[in-house]
Amino acid sequence: MDIAEVSHLSGFAPSTLRYYEKLGLIYSTGRNGLRRQYSPSVLNKLNIISLGQMAGLSLSEVAMMFNTKDELVINRETLRQKVHDIDQQIIRLKSVRESLHHVVSCPHESHLECDSFQALLKSARSLKA
């Protein structure tokens, strides 16, 4: 598969594919003229990279999920910690959502005079990252 096809199928721009190759995350199998060629298996690796990034992993953390033979070797403890981090982020985001809903519908002229809003502010301080 050439770089244009990989780009089309994966949704990654060719510049991103070249960058990932420069970092050693993916490898081309050669060239056809000036166009890089990739194995179809690169799509699986790009999906893993994408999932890792959505989970908040850095590219170096994603790279560590592969051994020298380019086989997937997942560090479950790293992922367990990432799950914990995501759970904490969800809690914080729910608190923010509650606060915004309250601000929108609060009957007080000044939110600072509202006991419910003050409680939300206190709760937000305790959830600060």
User: Is 42 within 8 Å of 26 (Cβ atoms)?
Assistant: yes
pLDDT tens, position by position, 32-86: 988 899 999 999 999 999 999 998 899 999 999 998 888 889 889 988 999 999 9
pLDDT tens, position by position, 87-120: 999 998 998 898 888 889 888 888 888 888 888 8
Please name the amino acid found at residue 56: G
Number of helices and strands in the chain (H, E): 6, 2
State how many domains the chain has.
2
Q: Which range of residues forms the domain containing residue 85? A: 77-127
The enclosing domain of 38 has a CATH number of: 1.10.1660.10
- Check residue 128 and give its pLDDT: 67
Q: Are residues 67 and 98 in the same domain?
A: no
Least Cα distance to 102 among 125, 87, 118 occurs for: 118
